[in-house]
């Protein structure tokens, strides 16, 4: 029997910390391009296994921080506490 995920999470992983922030919306619209650039930077191929997914589900840093700069975009994984703090500082609320 499957249990329903907690609100704001899927399989225990947060969905969005600040869904109405312009950067969050832009990243959502362009996620496939960002993924393609990351795969390109990894040499043109990346394989994600079931074990990778299971391991990530237990990793404490599930939140993707996106910091847009003049000439770059920084992506970093942060934990729930830092993610919530950064979201609130950016004028959002944690979902």
pLDDT at 77: 93
Residue with tokens 């950067």: 23
How confident is residue 93, by pLDDT bands cut at 50, 70 and 90? low
Listed residue (86, 87, 75) closest to 37, CA to CA: 75
Q: What would the two tokens of residue 20 be?
A: 């109405």
Pairing of strands 13-14, 9-10: antiparallel
> Which bin fits 22, alpha (ψ -120 to 50), beta or left (φ > 0)?
alpha
Mean pLDDT of the chain: 78
CB 63 within 8 A of CB 78: yes
CB 74 within 8 A of CB 5: no
pLDDT digits (tens, 9 = 90+) for 52-80: 999 998 898 888 888 888 898 889 999 88
pLDDT digits (tens, 9 = 90+) for 23-41: 777 777 888 999 999 999 9
How confident is residue 5, by pLDDT bands cut at 50, 70 and 90? very low
Spacing of C-alpha 49 from chain mean position: 18
């Amino acid at each position: 029997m499957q249990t329903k995920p907690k609100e704001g999470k899927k399989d225990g992983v947060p969905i969005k910390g600040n869904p109405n922030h312009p950067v969050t919306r832009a990243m959502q619209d362009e996620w496939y391009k960002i993924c393609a650039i990351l795969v390109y930077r990894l040499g043109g191929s990346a394989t994600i296994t079931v074990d990778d997914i299971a391991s990530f589900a237990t990793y404490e840093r599930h939140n993707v921080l996106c910091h847009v700069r003049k000439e770059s975009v920084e992506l970093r994984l942060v934990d729930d506490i830092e993610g919530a703090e950064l979201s609130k500082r950016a004028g959002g609320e944690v979902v």
